[in-house]
Copies of this chain bind each other. A is one copy, B any other.
Amino acid sequence: MKGVDLADRAGRQIRVGLDVGGTKIDAVAVDPAGEILGRLRRPTGWGEDAVLENIALAVGTLAEQVGLSASDIRSVGVGIPGLVDADSGRVLHAVNLGVDSLDLAVRAERALGVPFRVENDVKAAALGAAALRGVSGSMAYLNLGTGVAAGIVMDGRIWRGARGTAGEVGHISVDPNGRLCGCGQRGCIETFCGGGALAKAWGRPGSLPVRDILDAADTGDSEAVALRDDLYRGAAAAVRVLVLSADVETVIIGGGLTSLGERLEQGIRHALLAGAEASPFMRSLHLDERIELLPAGSPAAAFGAALVGAAITEKESVSHG
């Protein structure tokens, strides 16, 4: 791992990273060379106590699977939705997890005897994506999931901004006459390319509504075609916003919608090309060449969480025992 030194004294050499999602926890154990030694997924549960318990179980089960004892684990990093105070390790308003307020780092450390560090899930995933793809300069990680948000990484560091809204491109309105967003505004980027908004607009049953939309669009269903266009155009708008404000070199796209694979990547690429057709300025940016899709099932988010944990300083780590 370029730029990340996970090496350590004997014992406590392993970094664990957890990506805590709305339905499941993705956990990886990372050795000092940055290699993933083991990975598992288990349900997240609902509410403060259940989430905490399942985090502890994920760490314990993963350690057992890899053949580690607690004393081999140097840190646990957690990426989790909601408003995260990275200094205190407290999580607020993780509504998809039923968590209103959880003193996660303190309680998890008490339970497991290992130093914890907590970060917003998209920011952690951004760090992981930058590391896994070997990006050394600037990049944004655009997460297309139920909602839409981005994390920005500059020279290997998460860019926090002034008040925690860096990369919140999902709630930039790009159409005053667009659909109403959950945030109360109209035409937010998230209303175009968020899985939740698309499923709601589609309104038909099915466990993978965005995949259903693409399949129906392929058969010519006009409503599905319109929503498919929204998806691609919304994601293209997010890419444009990230480049025309933060001017990142690359936009790496991750999140649940990446399970759509090639169709999604080509769709966004075509939308970027179509948007640049009439504009020499936009063409000069070559945005279609500056996006990358993470492979479905990429461990980037959990790996990034492990890197977040690895940023715990020696002093903090010692004081935690």
Q: What is the interface of chain A, defined by CB distance below 8 A to chain B?
A: 137-138, 150, 160-169, 171-177, 183-185, 237, 240-249, 275, 278-282, 285
A161 to B251, CA, bound (A): 13
- For the complex, what is the distance from the CA of A174 to the CA of B247, rounded to whole Å? 18
Known: A174-B174, A176-B175. Contact between A279 and B184, CB under 8 A? yes
Contact B245 A163 (CB under 8 A): no
The distance in angstroms between the C-alpha atoms of A134 and B82, with both chains bound, is 33
Copies of this chain: 2
Q: Give the docked Cα–Cα distance between A104 and B165 (Å).
A: 39
Contact: A249 with B163, CB < 8 Å? yes
The interface residues of chain B lying within 8 Å CB-to-CB of A243 are: 165
Q: Contacts A172-B241, A237-B173; is A138 near B165 (CB within 8 Å)?
A: no
Alpha-carbon gap, A40 to B138, bound state (A): 40
* Pair B245/A241 contact, Cβ less than 8 Å: yes
The reply to whether B173 and A174 form a contact with Cβ atoms under 8 Å apart is yes
A-B contact pairs, 7 of them (CB 8 A): A160-B247, A161-B246, A168-B245, A174-B174, A184-B279, A184-B280, A241-B241
B165 touches A247 (CB 8 A): yes
- Which interface residue of A150, A243, A246, A249 has the most chain B CB atoms within 10 A? A246
Residue of B at shortest CB range from A173? Answer: B174
A221 CB, min distance to chain B CBs, angstroms = 22
Evaluate contact between A184 and B281: CB separation under 8 angstroms: yes
The answer to whether A242 touches B244, judged by C-beta atoms less than 8 angstroms apart, is no
- Report Cα–Cα, A248/B168, bound state, in Å: 12
A164 to chain B: which residues have CB within 8 Å?
Answer: 247
Query: Least Cβ distance of A170 to chain B in Å?
Result: 8
Could you say which residues of chain B place their CB within 8 Å of the CB of A285? 163, 165
Nearest Cβ in chain B — how far from A122, in angstroms? 13
Give the distance in Å from the alpha carbon of A255 to the alpha carbon of B171 in the complex: 27
Tell me if A165 and B244 are in contact (CB < 8 A): yes
Assembled-state Cα–Cα distance A304/B248 (Å): 24
Q: B162 contacts A137, CB within 8 Å?
A: yes
Q: Are A171 and B244 in contact (CB under 8 A)?
A: yes
Closest B residue to A247 by beta carbon equals B161
CB distance from A297 to the nearest CB of B (A): 28
Give the distance in Å from the alpha carbon of A247 to the alpha carbon of B237 in the complex: 18
Q: Nearest-CB distance from A128 to chain B (Å)? A: 20
Measured CB to CB, the closest approach of chain B to A274, in angstroms, equals: 11
A38-B278 Cα distance, complex, nearest whole Å: 46
Q: How far is the CB of A291 from chain B (nearest CB, A)?
A: 14
Docked complex Cα distance between A9 and B237 (Å): 52
B244 A162 Cβ-Cβ under 8 A: no
